[in-house]
Amino acid sequence: MKTLVRLIVVACFAGVVFAQQPNQPPKPGPELQKLQLWVGEWTYEGESPTTFLGPGEKFTGRMTGRFILNGFGLETVDDEQSPSGEIQTVEVDTYDPVTQNYPYISVSSDGSFSQGSVTMSGTWEGSSMANGKRYKERGTNAVAPDGMGFTRSGEVSEDGKTWVPWFTYHATKVQDSEKSAVEATVRDFEQAYQDYNVAEAKSLLTSDARWIEDAFPEKITSMEWTDREELKAAGVRSTLRFHDFETHVQGDVAWVTYAADAVSSAHSTEGQKLLLQSPTAKEDCLSQGTNVSCSATYVETEVLVKTPSGWKIALGHTSRLPKPQK
């Protein structure tokens, strides 16, 4: 019955709000927008001393932050490794206008969870449940002036009176540098393909890379590289101009969408023949004396994975944009 009553109250309140502001969904205030700092990819490393919770150890991890629920919540996902094993933690933060603090709640894959709040100055306190017992927790966040790093330290207590050091770690924002590395791989691959550098192009693909173009995903076979050699031998020249990159990195996986303006030309009879064999040659190609020139714009989408030797393309998709109507 309590649940039913609560639902009725919420429904009535919601009706009042919607009546006051028709078709105007609420927007996060400036306090919530300050959580933008934590959006992105971070790596961290630290250590914990021996306490009543267990032996001390060093650990490393990766944290991914993103806004959820129309910007009213910040979700962070931590993947942490240490000698005692791997653990994942999901935390959600929001803003409380009454206390003017940032409440948080987190749940970990080992069954532990915690909740509390963070002040505007970066101090935090709360309680956690681990190993069937409840503990008090508190600590500080010290953010670098450029927002690209922070140091977090915590203390833990069994009774809320006697506190012992719990952990300290330093985090560095890596998404910007990783995005640049991902885009560099894509550009290098396209440049190698454009320059007929087969060995370089292959080195930027995973061993089982697939491509989607007018068909189901197909493994990139030696036949495609043979086609490149044929175009090269016929003197076909190609240039590409890239623009409108949209790059996302999440852990060891990235996906990129971008546009490529492609221009191919040939003076030789064999090269012209190859260009004019294209199914879209009537739309893309123009003959001018002894030269054939073809132009088109493609939208490329690629999925990359991070390997010990760098980012590699695992899956690609190519779409040719239709010519604008004159």
CA angle 317, 320, 323 (to 5 degrees): 165
CA angle 318, 322, 324 (to 5 degrees): 145
Residue 175: its pLDDT value, please? 59
Closest CA to 296 of 271, 270, 264: 264
Last residue of a domain, one of 173, 208, 240: 173
Whether residue 272 is contained in a domain is answered as yes
Distances (CA, A) of 29 to 72, 119, 153: 9, 17, 28
β-strand partners of 318: 300
Q: What are phi and psi of 171, to 5 degrees?
A: -120, 145
Whether residue 95 is contained in a domain is answered as yes
Per the structure, the count of domains in the chain is 2
The DSSP output letter for 148 is S
Q: At which residue do the structure tokens 């400036």 appear?
A: 30
* 134 shares a domain with 243: no
* 251 shares a domain with 139: no
* 292 shares a domain with 251: yes
* 150 shares a domain with 64: yes
What would the pLDDT profile of 284-314 be if each residue is shown by its tens digit? 778 877 788 888 888 999 999 999 889 999 9
The mean pLDDT of the chain is 82
Whether residue 245 is contained in a domain is answered as yes
R_g of the chain computed on alpha carbons? 28
Tell me: pLDDT of 222 over 60. no
* Residue 19: band (very low, low, confident or very high) from pLDDT cuts 50, 70, 90: very low
Whether residue 1 is contained in a domain is answered as no
Tell me: pLDDT of 10 over 50. no
* 292 shares a domain with 227: yes
Q: Residue 136 sits in a domain of what CATH number? A: 2.40.128.20
Q: Residue 228 sits in a domain of what CATH number? A: 3.10.450.50
* 254 shares a domain with 160: no
* Residue 108: band (very low, low, confident or very high) from pLDDT cuts 50, 70, 90: very high
What would the pLDDT profile of 52-75 be if each residue is shown by its tens digit? 888 999 999 989 888 888 889 999
Whether residue 21 is contained in a domain is answered as no
What DSSP string runs through 230-294? HHHHTT-EEEEEEEEEEEEEETTEEEEEEEEEEEEEE-SHHHHHHHHTSTTHHHHEEEETTEEEE
Domain of 78 in residue numbering reads as 26-173
Tell me: pLDDT of 20 over 70. no
* Residue 274: band (very low, low, confident or very high) from pLDDT cuts 50, 70, 90: confident
Last residue of a domain, one of 173, 198, 214: 173
Residue 224: its pLDDT value, please? 63
Residue 251: its pLDDT value, please? 79
User: What mean pLDDT comes out for the span 244-254?
Assistant: 86
Residue 225: its pLDDT value, please? 63
* 209 shares a domain with 74: no
The DSSP output letter for 77 is E
* 125 shares a domain with 43: yes
Q: What are phi and psi of 98, to 5 degrees?
A: -75, -50
205-212 and 237-250 strand pairing: unpaired
Residue 244: its pLDDT value, please? 85
Tell me: pLDDT of 12 over 80. no
* 201 shares a domain with 85: no
Last residue of a domain, one of 143, 158, 173: 173
Whether residue 325 is contained in a domain is answered as no
Closest CA to 320 of 305, 300, 303, 302: 300
Whether residue 31 is contained in a domain is answered as yes
* 224 shares a domain with 164: no
* 30 shares a domain with 169: yes
Whether residue 6 is contained in a domain is answered as no
Residue 6: its pLDDT value, please? 31
What would the pLDDT profile of 69-88 be if each residue is shown by its tens digit? 888 999 999 999 999 899 99
Cα–Cα dist 195/109, whole Å: 49
Q: Buried (b) or exposed (e) across 150-177, using 16+ Cβ within 10 A?
A: bebbbbbbeeeeeeebbbebebebbbee
**What pTM was computed for the model?**
0.51
